[in-house]
Amino acid sequence: MGMTQAAGAVPGGLLSYVTAGDLIQIMREFRARTLDLVADLKDEQLIGPRLAMVNPPLWEIGHVAWFQEFWILRHLKKQQPITENGDQLYNSTDVAHDTRWELLLPSLEATRQYMDEVLDRCIEHIDKNSELTAEEFYFYLLATFHEGMHAEALAYTRQTLGYAAPRFAVSHAPLADSAGPFPGDVEIPGGSFVIGATPDFPFAFDNEKWAHPVEIKPFRIARAPVTNGEFLAFVEDGCYRKAQFWSESGWHWLEGDASPDLERSFAKFFNKNISESREQPNFKERLDHPFYWRRETAGRWRQRVFDQHVPLNENLPVIHVSWYEAEAYCNWANRRLPTEAEWEVAASGEPEGNRLSEQRRHFPWGDDPPTTDRANLDWRSGLVEVGAYPDGDSAFGCRQMIGNVWEWTADHFTPYPGFIIDPYKEYSKPWFGTHKVLRGGCWATRSLLIRNTWRNFYTPDRRDVWAGFRTCAK
């Protein structure tokens, strides 16, 4: 992008180098990615089946533009709405999720025209002003980050519904034939450590604010996320049938909620969209393995990746597993999930003798922005084996803490001390206490967004997102 460090910016992270001029290129590129994600979809696919965990893709892209219009043109610039019924169609706070399939949405062509007009007006303001104020920069980044997150959501929507892989995504092939597994633990010393974002960072969501000290006891954490091969041992031990490894809520989910809505609601979509019909799931059977896995003869397994079934690569991180499944695996393996603070310490900390240093890193490898040899981000190659990207290791030797696969942590999503809600009030506060925290980003996460302090959050039953986990020794 040819970015130069903005005056007064602190080193660390791609955002520190973003200027107003760079922002135009970033916004156009983010919008192109959003449109690429729906460009090949048929009219029926643009709506899709009514499911609790996805949105109609046609609604979602309109919502992205509406959000940009609302916060930049209407909130910041005090302009009148572009369309009369935009709020009634796209305001996610007021438009109930289940009703989004019933809306009289504009066509794809009309939606694209609306998206173009919003983007052009936002860029026009930047063109007329050589510099943006801090407030302007904040809302431009808020809308851009929001679009990046929805692009990732559109990707897992395509996976959920069995659509073809996005045209810019490569199949799940390892980065290198020799990447392989990366077993073992590293030891993290105890001490006081500061987690969370600091006010000098160019942008942070309210749930990252503000940095505060935590006391950490020494612990051991896995060098890499749990692999398909490791999780396969849990599956083949029949642990989806063994209640002793599941929490009460996890067992309840497994018995009743793990295989109703998703399977029944779009069984017909498998018939239409998945090429190997003989490998369709049995919608009447209770779940006994990760949802996208399929058992073959002679003990072989396959995994659905978008609309294709491919042989299960045991060196890839396990993905599309719920927090409940991660918890049960840990109980079986006599391990545990890391706390959110432990995860951030393992990613950000540095050793100082037998204690933690006071130094913090913005990324596992240091303060420089992500590059193609440090992290699997930005849709480059699909999922890669856990041994890939050694240049992205943390100071303690943890690999792929940024990129490739989101990682569940043990903790509920709660506010940090002194939490103050941001203008986008619906982003964090409504979800405190009911969601679990994930860290680190995935292969479809934009490098502009992610850093060690970023907190993602989903309910513990979600297995549609690009989520896996790593474990700690008990």
Alpha helices, H only, 130-227: 134-160
Judged by DSSP in three states, 58 sits in helix
Show me where the domains of the chain are located.
Answer: 14-160, 170-474
Report whether 19 contacts 4 (CB < 8 A): yes
Question: How far is the C-alpha of 234 from the C-alpha of 240, rounded, in Å?
Answer: 8
The whole-number pLDDT of residue 172 equals: 45
- List per-residue pLDDT tens for the chain, 474 residues long: 323 233 233 333 455 567 778 899 999 999 999 999 999 999 999 999 999 999 999 999 999 999 999 999 999 999 999 999 999 999 999 999 999 999 999 999 999 999 999 999 999 999 887 678 889 989 999 999 999 999 999 999 999 999 999 987 554 444 555 688 999 999 999 999 999 999 888 789 999 999 999 999 999 999 999 999 999 999 999 999 999 999 999 999 998 866 544 544 444 444 444 443 334 444 445 689 999 999 998 889 999 999 999 999 999 999 999 999 999 999 999 999 999 999 999 999 999 998 999 999 999 999 999 999 999 999 887 899 999 999 999 999 999 999 999 999 999 999 999 999 999 999 999 999 999 999 999 999 999 999 999 999 999 999 999 999 999 999
The whole-number pLDDT of residue 169 equals: 53
Fold agreement (14-160, 170-474): no
The whole-number pLDDT of residue 467 equals: 98
Alpha carbon of residue 176 to chain centroid:
24
Question: How far is the C-alpha of 345 from the C-alpha of 356, rounded, in Å?
Answer: 9
Query: Per residue in 188-231, pLDDT tens?
Result: 999 999 999 998 887 899 999 999 999 999 999 999 999 999 99
What number does CATH give the domain 170-474? 3.90.1580.10
Query: Per residue in 86-95, pLDDT tens?
Result: 999 999 999 9
Judged by DSSP in three states, 286 sits in coil
- Reading the block at residue 230, the tokens are 């490791």
CATH superfamily of 14-160: dinb family like domain (1.20.120.450)
The whole-number pLDDT of residue 261 equals: 46
Q: What are the CA-CA distances from residue 1 to residues 14, 18, 21, 438 (Å)?
A: 10, 9, 10, 29
Question: How far is the C-alpha of 399 from the C-alpha of 223, rounded, in Å?
Answer: 6
Residue written as token pair 């405190």? 432
The whole-number pLDDT of residue 282 equals: 42
